[in-house]
Amino acid sequence: MANQWHHYRGNMHVHTRYSDGEKLHAEIAEDAIAAGLDFVIITDHNVYVSGVEGYYENERGRVLLLTGEEVHNVRRHPQASHFLAYGAGRELATYAADPQALIDETLSAGGYGFLAHPHEDDLPLINMPDLGWHDWDIEGFSGLEIWNYMSAFKNMVAQRLDGLRWKNKLNSLLVALRMTLHPERYMKGADPRTMALWDDFLAKGMRIAAVGNSDAHGTPMRLGPLRREVFPYEFLFRAVNTHVLLDTPLNGDVEHDRRLLIRAIGRGNSWVGYDMPGPTDAFRFTVQGVKKGIMGDEMPLSTGATLQVKAPVRCRARIIRHGTVVAEVERESNLTYIPDEPGAYRVECYIPYENEERGWIYSNPIYLR
C-alpha cells in the first residue's frame, strides 16, 4: 500500500426518473458537483440504465457518474430485502426473487453487492412498511449499507410517533412535518441494530465492508396546489457519503476510474462520513507494522501493528473490536492503540452538532490476523 492516498467523496444510492426519482442523470450530476462530490453511482430500482456513465462537467467542476442498480422482488409484500449492486455492468433484476442467486450473479459479473438499509421500521402514517433486509439465509455478499439517510430519517419519525402521548393522526402529521422540514435536527448516526449486526459478522471472521448513502429521490411534498422538494439531491449529497482512498489517482478515463473506485468500495478502503456537521475528508485510520495499511487491508498481528486514528478536528474517537471499545479519547484529534489480539478493528467518531452529539465518522475495519 502506498504512503500517499488519494481521497474521493461519493454517494452511491441515488434514483432518477428511470425509477422513482425526480431528476435525470445530467441534473443529478449538477447537484453532485454543487455538493462537492467526486463521484456518484445511480442505483435505480430494478433497471440498469446504459449509456449514461461518464464525467459530467460545468464551470464549478466535474463529477464521475457511474451506474449500479437497486434490485428487489416487486412480487413480494412488502418489497423488502433491497440489494445494491456495484460494478456488475449489466441488468440483474431477473434474479430479484432469489437473493442468493442475485449475490452470486453480481460477484460472477465482477461486481460487489451490499445489503441496503438492513433495518427499517414500519411507518403506518404514510403507509410505508419495513423494507429492511429479511432474507438472512445467504452468503457471499460484500457488505452492508450501515447508514442510509432516508431510512434513518424514516426510522426516527416512526420512533418519535410511537412515543407520542397524543396519538391522533393530526398530531402525528404535524410532528412528521416538523421533522421533515428540519431533518438535520434529528439525524443521530448509523442504526445501532445494523452496527451490532456488522460487529457480529466481523467477530465471525467475515470480511464485510460498509457504505453510507443518501437514497436520494428528490422527494416532493404536496399540500393542495403547493409543492416542495423536501429532500433535495444537493442537500442529501452534503450529508451521509462514502469516502474512498486510492493508492492510484483517478485520471479521467472512465473505465480506469470505475475499476479503481468499485474495487476500493468492495474492499472497504473507505469510511462513512456525515459531512453536514463538518467535512470528514481529512480523516485517516491506518495501521503501521512492517508495512503500512489502511481500512480494508489485512496485516499479521505478529508484525507489531500499531493502529493510528487522525480525525479532522477534536472529537470523541473510539476504536472498536467486534463490538467492544478497546480505546477511546475525548476532545482529541489523534488516537493510537497497540492491539494484542487478532480481529477486525474499526473507528467511530462523534462531534456536537445542532446542540447534540452526533455520529460523524464510521470507518471500515483494518483486519489483523
The pLDDT averaged over each successive group of 10 residues in the chain (369 residues) is: 82 97 97 98 98 97 98 94 98 97 98 98 91 97 98 95 85 92 94 98 98 94 71 97 98 98 98 98 94 94 90 98 98 97 97 97 97
Q: What is the structure's pLDDT at 107?
A: 98
Given 276, 295, 326, which residue is the final one in a domain?
A: 276
In angstroms, the CA 275 to CA 67 distance is 23
Residues 6+ apart with CB under 8 A from 174: none
In a shared domain, residues 333 and 254: no
Gap between the terminal Cα atoms of the chain? 17
Q: Of 276, 296, 317, at which residue does a domain stop? A: 276
Amino acid, single-letter form, for residue 41:
I
**At 255, which helix (H) or strand (E)?**
helix 254-267
pLDDT at residue number 230: 86
Residue 1 lies in a domain: no
**Integer angstrom CA distances of residue 306 from 203, 280, 321, 331:** 20, 22, 14, 21
Residue whose grid cell is 498481528? 301
Helix (H) or strand (E) holding 317: strand 306-321
Helix (H) or strand (E) holding 174: helix 169-181
pLDDT for 224: 62
Q: How many domains does the chain have?
A: 2
* Angle (nearest 5°) at CA 26 between 277 and 118: 50
Whether residues 38 and 187 share a domain: the answer is: yes
Q: Are residues 169 and 298 in the same domain?
A: no
Residues 347 and 309: their CA atoms lie apart, in Å, by: 8
Question: Is residue 99 domain-shared with residue 42, that is, in the same domain?
Answer: yes
What pLDDT does 144 receive? 98
pLDDT at 1: 45
CB-side neighbour CA atoms (13 Å) of 364: 30
pTM: 0.96
> Could you tell me the residue range of the domain that residue 343 belongs to?
280-369
Domain at 326, CATH number: 2.60.40
pLDDT the model gives residue 220: 79
